[in-house]
Amino acid sequence: MLFFAASHTPELLKEDISNAKRKGAKQILLSVGGANNTYNPGKTPSNELAKNIVSFLNEYGFTGIDFDLEIDGDGEYLDELCQALKNVEPSLVITAAPQLNQGAHETDLILVSAGNCRMYDQAVRNNRFDYLFIQAYNNQWPVINDTNETDVEFISNSFTNLTKKIFLPKPRLPLESLQIDKPREQVYLPLLMSLIISTSLFTTNTKRFVPIHNSAVPWCGALI
Q: Residue 220 forms beta bridges with which residues?
A: 193
Percentage of the chain with pLDDT > 90?
41
Contact residues for 220 (Cβ-Cβ < 8 A; gap 6+):
155, 156, 159, 188, 190, 192, 193, 195, 212, 214
Q: What is the DSSP letter of 178?
A: S
Task: Name the nearest CA neighbour of 100 among 145, 73, 140, 69.
Answer: 140
- Topology of the domain covering 10-203: TIM Barrel (3.20.20)
Residue 39 host element (H or E) = none
5's enclosing H/E stretch is: none
Q: Model's pTM, two decimal places?
A: 0.75
The yes-or-no verdict on residue 224 having pLDDT over 90 is: no
Query: Is residue 24 predicted with pLDDT exceeding 70?
Result: yes
172-187 pLDDT tens trace: 444 444 444 444 333 3
| Mean of pLDDT over the chain | 76
Among residues 122, 142, 139, the alpha carbon closest in space to that of 67 is found at 122
Give the residue from 223, 195, 16, 220 showing the smallest Cα distance to 98.
195
What is the pLDDT at residue 22? 93
